[in-house]
Amino acid sequence: MSALDAAVRIAYRRRASPLHAARATVVAAYGGALALSALLLENPILLTALLAAVLLAAALAGVGRRLRGAARASVLPLLIATVLINVLVSRGGLTVFARLGEWGVLGQVDLTLEAVVYGLVFGLRLLVVALACLLVVCAADPDELLLALRRVSPHSALTAALATRMVGVLGQDARRLAEAQRCRADGPARGTRARIAVLRATVQGALDRALDVAAVLEMRGYGAGRRGPGARHARSRHDIAFASAAVGLLALVAAARASGAAMFTAYPLVSMAGGGATILAALALLAVTLAPFADRRGIEP
Amino acid sequence: MSALRFEHVGYSYAGAAAPALRDVSLTIAPGEFCVLAGRSGSGKSTLLRAAAALVPHFHGGSFSGRVAVAGLDTREATPADIGALAGTLLQDPETQVVMNTVRAELALAVENLGLGAGAVARAVEEAALALGIGELLDRPTSELSGGELQRVALGAALVSRPRLVLLDEPTSQLDPVAGDELIWQLRRLNQESDTAVLLIEHRLERCLGAADRVIAMDKGAIAFDGDPGGFLEWAAREERSLQTPAARLIEGAGLAPPPAGVKQARATLRRRGLLPAPPVPGEKAASGAQKPGRPRWSGRRAKGPQPALEMRGVWHELREGPAVLRGVDFSMQAGETVVLMGRNGAGKSTLLRHAGGLLAPTRGTVRPSGRVALLLQNPSDYLLHERVSEEAPPEALELLGLGALADRHPRDLSGGERQRLALAIVLGGSAPAAVLALDEPTRGMDRAAKGELARWLRDRAGEGSAVLVATHDAEFAASFAGRAVLMADGRVIADGPVQEILAGGWYFATETARILDGAGGVLLPEQGAALLRAAREAPAVIEEVAPRR
């Protein structure tokens, strides 16, 4: 599956889950809290708990498979590259397990256990942040999000909504172009010049699409700049549950950091908290994140 | 106050050699239903874009004269201002829909008018109810079919209750059922809300019956402006490619006046005693007449030498999705001309992709006897280079009549020329393809271009290629095909001579067949006219050939 295919497949679709039943801004806040927690934590035990929490939340929301597919296609290659680069360029560790000699501009390259561990921790954080964002993409209605955001920044909000929509349209265009190239009597494009021609045609097609969409937006009165007052809806039980989970998660992370249960240092030697308090914090992270999924009343679309 | 007024409007696109509009003056009153007719490149779409203020604001170029929408001058107002008064629907539904759900799409236009949440919600509900898309409101727009997408785009154009609706070939991607539904929904809205409609349509037989007025364009100028009857008389004299099949049928039979639709044509024939009596169920067919044979249903196996294309039990099942093809058995011989018809989503395009090797069946086998040249729906997807001569070998360009255009840029070609260039690309310069497969090749083509394409396809079949075409256009199908295959829900539901399949239906039938109720299996106006002339000389003929169902 290509990254573009993965992006197309991960688009929002209303499902019967407590997360989908919450309003888009609450889903965004819940995903944001998960991502922020990953950025605030370095302890591998707590990060692993957070990764498990995001994956379980995705599974309980019915988007686990799509999330894993998208992560495999677009996040994992980045993660592997991050770990490798950190191992090669880091100079902080003391436990050397391989000496690779002089590497040109990199100088003397020594591989250290600490660099590997820090690379893995950093990759784990990236992975949790990416998965949390993908969870929001899968579970938050982008139109509802647009409606909420346009009160703050209408043009940015519409650009974001259009981008979400155009990813799908351009993905279909790309598939169509690829099919047309396979139908040519002289076969699909080969060689650099031919590939540049395909790229030029693709860009031209995307620009044509963008112009068409811009014309439609003009005609729908987007440029008129008139905005009416927004609608007010009562908070559902799921809005309250997921908003509370987001607040609880951040509070828990703050407490873990303050108490030392989240302690982790990679350099010069790896040192981390791993006692009962840390295990308890990890379990609490899981419980707080997944608790809103226990209530399945009123989740049908 | 008029809904739309053009005063001596002239317009040239930037860098264009000839003007797209020349001294156009017209007035459309509130509540008028106007059809804008003309050959490809006659300036229809430009006129529509000028009414929407996209010309000149969006497209630039050189503009003269004055266009006013409900009194608002488009030189001073922006397209967004005009958008509050005029709803516009262009050809491609994919780019007409910008939001992620149908509800948000409908809401966008009214939110931009500054209405409150309650008014927006009410407008969305009303538009959805009026267009019968209430059940789609919470569906993602990415999951809608072409027909559903076009209805949603129409809803978005109508949701603000505009005084004028501008539509550029809104039915070009729809099957006959959805196309007819869309036209009658427009007519109903026009009658109930006094909304003026300006509609561009190549298949005039589809909309003349609903129109109050027809405006015909030629080379950027208005060539005719009057009622549908007057238009058909003008077309018979001045521009025969704009005649409807019904008008050609009645004219060919030596009758008058030219009819605007099936109902008027049948009334003319009934007055002359030439209309076949309604068939009586169970009554035996009269002997001696040209009788349609029994329809042969799916599973038909072509006899003779090795087929040019053979499909056996072909299934195409999507992962976590429905089955698009369900056990299709289909074969065709060299030199055969076959048309694939059916509703949007019936599986026609998927079947062609299997024939062309773009898809592999999840079950079953596809066996072509040689190369399959497959032309997909959008010819522009095939164009990669800066010059026509770089796209295809010279012999293929000559075969398609493009030799003289070898130095042109492919994207500067007209729609019909692009279609032929794409055909040259898939045909190549090697030996003729065993199968020539085309998916909806007539979208946006005028009748003259369709006639040329039909002739070209018959020539290729004459040279031994099997020709397989998916289309919604029954008139085009009847003009080239010898056999018709009707698909529904991924299955072949009818397969037989084109006279059998396209003569007896309501939707998958030509206008001539609908007027004559399938008599004699005739499909084309010229055949029908010959039948009517024979009937005038020997009145029993029509009775004898009336179909017995």
Non-local (6+) Cβ contacts of A246 within 8 A are: A26, A29, A30, A32, A33
pLDDT tops 50 at residue A256: yes
User: Does residue A199 lie within any of the structural domains?
Assistant: no
Mean of per-residue pLDDT scores for chain B: 87
Which of A114-118, B382-386, B411-415 bottoms out in mean pLDDT, i.e. has the lowest?
Answer: B411-415
> pLDDT grade, residue B258 (50/70/90)?
very high
A180 vs B118: CB contact, 8 Å cut-off? Answer: no
DSSP state of B305: S
User: Does residue A227 lie within any of the structural domains?
Assistant: no
Return the higher-pLDDT residue of B281 and A196.
Answer: A196
What residues of chain B, 374 to 403, have a C-beta less than 8 Å from chain A? 374-376, 378, 380-385, 392, 396
User: Does residue A117 lie within any of the structural domains?
Assistant: yes
Which of A102-111, B42-51, B101-110, B351-360 bottoms out in mean pLDDT, i.e. has the lowest?
Answer: A102-111
What residues of chain A, 122 to 141, have a C-beta less than 8 Å from chain B? 141
Cα–Cα distance for residue pair B76/B57, rounded to 1 Å: 10
Contact of B428 with chain A, judged by CB distance below 8 Å, is answered with: yes
For residue B108, the Cα-to-chain-centroid distance in whole angstroms is: 29
Compare CB distances from B430 to A165, A185, A218 and report the shortest one's residue: A185
Cα dihedral A59, A62, A66, A70, rounded to 10, equals -50
> pLDDT grade, residue B337 (50/70/90)?
very high
pLDDT digits (tens, 9 = 90+) for B511-537: 999 999 888 888 999 999 998 988 887
**Per the structure, how many domains does chain A have?**
1
Mean pLDDT over B421-436 rounds to: 87
Contact list, A184 vs chain B (CB under 8 Å): 382, 425-426, 428
pLDDT tops 60 at residue B294: no
Asked if residue B257 has a cis previous peptide bond (ω within 30° of 0), the answer is yes
B436 touches B465 (CB < 8 A):
yes
Angle of CA points B327, B468, B424, to nearest 5°: 135
Cα–Cα distance for residue pair B226/B214, rounded to 1 Å: 6
Do the interacting molecules here have an ipTM over 0.85? no
Distance from CA of A182 to the nearest CA of B (A): 8
User: Does residue A79 lie within any of the structural domains?
Assistant: yes
pLDDT digits (tens, 9 = 90+) for A43-73: 999 999 999 999 999 999 999 988 888 778 7
> pLDDT grade, residue B291 (50/70/90)?
very low
Chain B interface mutation, best of A216, A226, A232, A300, highest count of B Cβ atoms under 10 Å: A216
Cα–Cα distance for residue pair B178/B154, rounded to 1 Å: 13
B95 vs A209: CB contact, 8 Å cut-off? Answer: yes
* pLDDT score recorded for residue A93: 85
Contact of B62 with chain A, judged by CB distance below 8 Å, is answered with: no
A186 vs B98: CB contact, 8 Å cut-off? Answer: no
Contact of A183 with chain B, judged by CB distance below 8 Å, is answered with: yes
User: Does residue A192 lie within any of the structural domains?
Assistant: no
B433 touches B464 (CB < 8 A):
no
Q: Quick check: helix, strand or coil at residue B244?
A: coil
Chain A interface mutation, best of B49, B82, B92, B108, highest count of A Cβ atoms under 10 Å: B108
Mean pLDDT over B264-284 rounds to: 73
Count of CB contacts below 8 A, A vs B? 167
User: How many CB atoms are closer than 10 A to CB A46?
Assistant: 28
> pLDDT grade, residue B298 (50/70/90)?
very low
What residues of chain A, 268 to 287, have a C-beta less than 8 Å from chain B? none
pLDDT tops 90 at residue B72: yes
Range among B117-131, B219-233, B433-447 rated most confident: B219-233
Compare CB distances from A165 to B81, B100, B115 and report the shortest one's residue: B100
A219 vs B99: CB contact, 8 Å cut-off? Answer: no
- B425-449 exposure pattern, b = at least 16 Cβ within 10 A, e = fewer: bbbbeeebbbbbbbbbbbbbbbbeb
Q: What percentage of chain A reaches a pLDDT higher than 90? A: 40
- Helix (H) or strand (E) segment spanning residue A241: helix A237-259
pLDDT tops 50 at residue A98: yes
Contact of A230 with chain B, judged by CB distance below 8 Å, is answered with: yes
B40 touches B239 (CB < 8 A):
no
pLDDT digits (tens, 9 = 90+) for A149-161: 766 776 676 676 6
Q: Which residue is associated with the tokens 């929301």?
A: A61
Contact list, B90 vs chain A (CB under 8 Å): 212, 215-216
Domain range for A126 is 3-151+236-294
Distance from CA of A299 to the nearest CA of B (A): 15
Contact of B112 with chain A, judged by CB distance below 8 Å, is answered with: yes
pLDDT tops 80 at residue A162: no
Contact list, A209 vs chain B (CB under 8 Å): 95
Return the higher-pLDDT residue of B238 and A163.
Answer: B238
Cα–Cα distance for residue pair A220/B81, rounded to 1 Å: 9
Cα–Cα distance for residue pair B128/B133, rounded to 1 Å: 5
Q: Where are the alpha helices (DSSP H) in B11-112?
A: 44-51, 54-57, 79-83, 93-96, 102-111
pLDDT tops 60 at residue B546: no
DSSP state of B521: G
**Is the pTM of the predicted complex or chain greater than 0.80?**
no
pLDDT tops 50 at residue B297: no
User: Does residue A168 lie within any of the structural domains?
Assistant: no
- A218-250 exposure pattern, b = at least 16 Cβ within 10 A, e = fewer: bbbbbbbeeebeeeeeeebebbebbbebbebbb
Q: Please, what are the domains in chain B?
A: 4-243 (3.40.50.300), 255-292+519-549 (no CATH), 309-518 (3.40.50.300)
Q: Parallel, antiparallel, or unpaired for β B372-375 and B221-226?
A: unpaired
* pLDDT score recorded for residue B404: 87
DSSP string, A156-209: HHHHHHHHHHHHHHHHHHHHHHHHHHHHSTT-S--HHHHHHHHHHHHHHHHHHH
Compare CB distances from B99 to A165, A180, A184 and report the shortest one's residue: A165
